[in-house]
Structure 1
Amino acid sequence: MIQINEYFEGNVKSLGYNRVNGKSTVGVMEPGEYTFNTGSPETMIVIEGQMEVLLHGEEIWKTYNEGNSFDVPGNASFQVKVASQTSYLCRYE
Structure 2
Amino acid sequence: MSQFDNVSVVKKANIYFDGKCVSHTLLFADGTRKTIGVIFPSSLTFNTAASEVMELNAGRCRIRLAGESEWRSYSGGERFVVPGNSSFDIETLETLDYVCHFG
- TM interval, short-chain normalised: over 0.9
1:22 matched to 2:22? The reply is: no
Greater RCO, 1 or 2 (C-alpha within 8 Å, sep 6+): 1
- Distance, in Å, in 1 between the alignment partners of 2:47 and 2:96 is 19
Of Structure 1 and Structure 2, the greater strand share is in 1
- Distance, in Å, in 2 between the alignment partners of 1:87 and 1:77 is 20
Gapped regions of structure 1 (runs ≥ 5)? none
Larger Rg: 2
Gapped regions of structure 2 (runs ≥ 5)? 1-8
1:21 CA drift (Å): 5.5
Normalized against structure 2, the TM-score is what?
Answer: 0.85
- In the alignment of these two chains, the number of paired residues is 93
RMSD after superposition: 1.2
Q: Are the structure 2 counterparts of residues 54 and 69 from structure 1 closer, same or farther at C-alpha, using a change threshold of 3 Å?
A: same
Letter in 2 for 1:18: L
Normalized against structure 1, the TM-score is what?
Answer: 0.93
Please name the residue that 1:13 is paired with: 22
1:36 CA drift (Å): 0.2
More displaced 10-residue stretch of structure 1: 12-21 or 41-50: 12-21
Runs of 4+ displaced beyond 6 Å: none
1:42 matched to 2:52? The reply is: yes
1:1-93 alignment runs, 5 A limit: 1-2=9-10, 3-19=12-28, 20=30, 22-93=32-103
Percent sequence identity over aligned pairs: 33
Letter in 2 for 1:14: S
